[in-house]
Amino acid sequence: MKRLLTLLAILAICGCMENVSLTNPTGKEPQTISSEMGIYGFTPNSIQLQRDTPVVWKLYVLSLNACTNKVIIEGIGEYPLKEGDNIIEFTPSKTGEISFNCGMNMLRGKFVVQ
């Protein structure tokens, strides 16, 4: 029984550490940025980022529709959106431009990673 509890404790600790490394693999303070997304696009639509530093992107969707219900970040992922506040987290691993767009590729913007 004691051995089982020890095993469970180890699993719990490993589980926690795994979560930490998934959202923040570098251990650096995240860089927090904010944009609004409406029918005319993203504001701002060009955002500077630092490489290898976790990003917390606060994306505020003004009104939800077929255009604003998803954001796709090139080479990083697709994120379903809801009206109002959304939090998107990722870590850019190389320098250069990363484009992002709505689900229909009409509204566009870019991150410039240094």
Contact 103, 65 (CB under 8 A): no
Quote the least distance from Cβ 104 to Cu ion, whole Å.
3
The verdict on 104 binding Cu ion (CB under 5 A) reads: yes
Contact 86, 64 (CB under 8 A): no
H/E element holding 42? Answer: strand 41-43
Closer residue to Cu ion, CB minimum distance, 104 or 112: 104
Span near Cu ion by CB under 5 A; candidates 33-41, 54-62, 70-78, 105-113: 105-113
Phi, psi of 19, rounded to the nearest 5 degrees: -60, -40
Quote the least distance from Cβ 78 to Cu ion, whole Å.
13
Per CB under 5 A, contacts with Cu ion among 23-82 are 67
Q: Both tokens of residue 88? A: 């998107």
Quote the least distance from Cβ 72 to Cu ion, whole Å.
10
Closer residue to Cu ion, CB minimum distance, 102 or 113: 102
H/E element holding 11? Answer: helix 2-23
Instruction: Tell me which DSSP letter residue 88 carries.
Output: E
Closer residue to Cu ion, CB minimum distance, 53 or 69: 69
Q: Both tokens of residue 5? A: 């509890």
The verdict on 102 binding Cu ion (CB under 5 A) reads: yes
Chain residues binding Cu ion by CB under 5 A are 67, 102, 104, 106
